[in-house]
Amino acid sequence: MDITARAWIVADHDTGEVLGERNPHVRLAPASTLKMLFADTLLGKFARTERHTVRGAELATVPEGSSLVGIKAGVTYSVEDLWHGVFLRSGNDAVRVLAAMNGGIDRSVAEMRAKAADLQAVDTYVVSPDGYDHPRQYSSAYDLTLMARSGLRNADFRAYCGTRTARIGGTGIENTNRLLCGSHGVKPYAGMIGVKNGYTSNAGNTFTGAATRDGRTLIVTVLHPKSGLNAVYEESRTLLDWGFAQGSSAKSLGTLAEPLSEGGAKVTHNSPHGSAGSAGSAGTAVDDDSMGWGLPVGGAVAAALLGGVYALRNRRTKKADPGADAAKSASPEES
């Protein structure tokens, strides 16, 4: 199987077992997949039916070149409308309005960092609530999988990320998750639940998806495949097919960390499925010039550290890797 992604992971949603992975802790630009953490943090703060009239100042900070759902100042929207904008169209305008309702960008970012720390997403550092590119903003395949797993335990998150079409202000929108809706030459994936796709010119393609088959739900995260266009979706499809095909014969490589607030054991830098190969934490910025959008140095260092950890672990457990015969690494995906 030709898996070119720079980093990926396949895990069981219910048990947390990791079935396969490559560079799961390498820090990369997440693009709009980071909106999963934004939703994990803010989703329970406002009732779906609550209405808000947008002020011009709330849209003034939307980064130039952002993906937009078309939120307009002076128009009143329901919270449900805004979340549809976030999940279906990756609208940075909808994110900025919700952040303003939450007390502002700075407060929302601080709360996202705290949420990441609780999820034990220690490879993540948040600068922008919408995932728009910043040199010091990064996450990992492992952390994004934690964010998706947490979100899917929330009924509203699950409903929003699985919504195919909606109407906002009289305008119809469709979810940009091509494995959910089927578009741009990508066939829909049977059993697809969600979750979030991403792309920026600096990050390249990113995707976290979840699907259910025969009562089992798997989560896949694919970051920075070599080629653009639909590669991130097709490689996610391949990995999901592989994961489901393993069935009960799959050998676990470890278990995803549980949130600290739910009694999860605190991960350490020596834990193969904790924060191996990472520096700093979700609440502490890493002041390192290598921690840029593409991590040309930091990614290589992290990969080397991971290699040592996994080499020791693989003496005990044979690693299942559907991409073992594929290209060993890749290059850099949306906001």
Q: What is the pLDDT of residues 9-63, one digit of tens each?
A: 999 999 999 999 999 999 999 999 999 999 999 999 999 999 999 999 999 999 9
Q: Is the peptide bond before 267 cis (omega within 30 degrees of 0)?
A: no
Site of tokens 């011009």: 56
What whole-number distance in Å separates Cα of residue 319 and Cα of residue 335?
Answer: 33
**pTM tops 0.85, yes or no:** no
Whether residue 217 contacts residue 237, with contact meaning beta carbons closer than 8 Å, is answered with no
**8 A C-beta contact, residue 85 and residue 109:** no
Report yes or no: 131 and 335 within 8 Å, Cβ to Cβ: yes
Query: Of 183 and 229, which is predicted with more confidence?
Result: 183
Of residues 118 and 226, more confidently modeled? 118
Distance, CA of 109 to CA of 41 (rounded, Å): 9
- Measured CA to CA, the distance from residue 270 to residue 276 in angstroms comes to 6
Q: Quick one: what percent of the chain has pLDDT higher than 90?
A: 72
Torsion, Cα of 29, 31, 35, 40 (10° steps): -20
Cα(255)–Cα(212) distance, integer angstroms: 19
Residue 96, class by beta-carbon neighbours within 10 Å (0-12 exposed, 13-18 middle, 19+ buried)? Answer: buried
> Tell me, what's the pLDDT at 318?
35
Cβ count within 10 A of residue 290: 15
Question: Could you give the 3-state DSSP secondary structure of residue 46?
Answer: coil
Q: What's the average model confidence in pLDDT over 176-197?
A: 96
Q: What is the DSSP letter of 185?
A: T
Residue 202 binned pLDDT confidence (cut-offs 50, 70, 90): confident
Percentage helix, strand, coil for the chain under 3-state DSSP, each rounded to 5: 35, 20, 45
- Distance of alpha carbon 28 from alpha carbon 224, whole angstroms: 8
Stronger pLDDT, 262 or 327, i.e. the higher one? 262
CA atoms of 233 and 334, how far apart (whole Å): 13
Q: Which tens digit of pLDDT belongs to each residue from 62-100?
A: 998 899 999 999 999 999 999 999 999 999 999 999 999
Q: How far apart are CA 120 and CA 129, in angstroms?
A: 18
* 8 secondary structure, DSSP code: E
Known catalytic residues are 32, 35, 90
pLDDT at 247: 74
User: In the prediction, which pLDDT does 335 show?
Assistant: 59
How high is the pLDDT of residue 313? 31
In this predicted model, which residue has the larger pLDDT, 332 or 221?
221
Q: Which residues contact 178 (CB under 8 A, 6 or more apart)?
A: 184, 186, 188, 197, 230, 233
